[in-house]
Structure 1
Amino acid sequence: MPQPLILAVPKGRILADALPLMARAGIVPEAGFGDENDRRLRFRTDRDGLELIRVRAFDVATFVAHGAAHLGIVGSDVIAEFAYAELYAPVDLDIGHCRVSIAEPAGLARDDDPTQWSHVRIATKYPNLTRRHFEARGVSAECVKLNGAMELAPTLGLADRIVDLVSTGRTLKDNGLIEVEVIAEVSARLIVNRPAFKTRPEVAALVEAFRGAVA
């Protein structure tokens, strides 16, 4: 009997939007999956041979790239940050819309011209994506890796600017920061492990089910 397929789904902001989409694709999790207070990480579904794991967004890409999960739902920001060769992203799920942006203190932004930057010190959880962006512009980027509380970095002197995920911009405003440039528009994607996609027909069937759910 083949091992069950594993679909990795992120905790946090994408989960609420992903649940109705999964239902349209014919995947209904067992009770508790949508409850962030349920501490289990692995769940059954009503679809034979398919189980879900609920992990951090950045870990979704790693689980799928290394074959521990066969499919996943994750933001295009995470895909771009890791750039795993083993990942294939066949479906834009049209949920989780936001952007990866550069922000700086309002006082600095008043007289700042991003086109004149030659060297920047950036606090971000996207060091790879950030470096590639600035390298393409011929700007030297020194990246300080943080996993959260990015908005504190400029006020405490850790970095002049930040690169972070922005939705409404409220958090930036509340911390005295201004969005000065968008690096990438983001939406959630269905990702699959390339070897699994080639060797397990059920993976391709799920890809088509998600395509139908989005359509």
Structure 2
Amino acid sequence: MTDEIIIALPKGRILKEALPVLARVGITPEPAFSDENSRALKFSTNVPGIAVIRVRAFDVATFVAHGAAQLGIAGNDVLMEFDFSEIYAPVDLCIGRCRLSVAEPAEQAANDDPRSWSHVRIATKYPNITRQHFAKRGVQAECVKLNGAMELAPLLGLSSRIVDLVSTGVTLRENGLAEVEVITEISSRLIVNRAAFKTNPAVVPLVEKFRRAVADAAA
């Protein structure tokens, strides 16, 4: 067993915003981390005993929940979708801001009222959040699970609507879709394995460093 602390970081857009947060905490990954040609997934840092891994955004929560990583950075969309009891999310990092929304073809949206729906067929990679959202108002949601290219679903007749992350809305508009309902606002959180939080004495001070880094950035 090792006392090494592993921080799981998400690939993609959030990573660019997460690295400055890590820097304010005093953690800098080794140069190979920024090498786009590197096939490595685990990297050392300038802090002895702390390493980082780079995984898919949806997998960050899984690594942390099962104790393979002690900390991670994940959007609350991921946390809501999986709802792992083993995860504690003590700090909103105030990065990766966007929203989880329902969208449909623009010509359909012009004369549509979500309050009138009784049954919807929706393409999404968030089936649990989607079903729970619509169930609260008695709407049956039939979810088609996709991991990407969500905007193609209405275009090709796979579903009449989608639920996906929206930032600027440009992708929706370019694919003839319009946002009709916001399910929830999204930001990225520092997440911690609950067992590690209780048993590893180095974890709590590290969480506090993240908390201070966010507070200092907002000041």
TM-aligned CA deviation for residue 82 of structure 1: 0.4
Count of residues in correspondence between the two structures: 215
5+ residue gaps, structure 2: none
Aligned to 1:157: 157
2:34 and 2:207 map into 1 onto residues whose CA distance is: 22
Structure 2 length-normalised TM: 0.96
Aligned to 1:20: 20
TM-aligned CA deviation for residue 123 of structure 1: 0.1
Amino acid at match of 2:87: L
Aligned to 2:55: 55
SS at match of 1:32: helix
Aligned to 1:120: 120
Aligned to 1:77: 77
- Whether 2:132 is the aligned partner of 1:98: answer no
Amino acid at match of 1:25: V
1:174 and 1:52 map into 2 onto residues whose CA distance is: 36
Structure 1 length-normalised TM: 0.98
1:66 and 1:35 map into 2 onto residues whose CA distance is: 28
5+ residue gaps, structure 1: none
Amino acid at match of 2:38: D
Aligned to 2:198: 198
Check the 8 A contact 1:15/1:34 in 2, yes or no.
no
Check the 8 A contact 1:8/1:55 in 2, yes or no.
yes
Check the 8 A contact 1:16/1:34 in 2, yes or no.
no
TM-aligned CA deviation for residue 40 of structure 1: 1.1
Amino acid at match of 2:173: K
Write the deviation string for residues 88-134 of structure 1: whole angstroms up to 9, x where unpaired: 00000011100000000011111111000000000000000111100
- The CA RMSD over aligned residues, in Å, is 1.0
TM-aligned CA deviation for residue 190 of structure 1: 0.1
TM-aligned CA deviation for residue 36 of structure 1: 3.9
1:149–1:65 CA distance, 2 compared to 1 (3 A): same
1:103 and 1:88 map into 2 onto residues whose CA distance is: 31
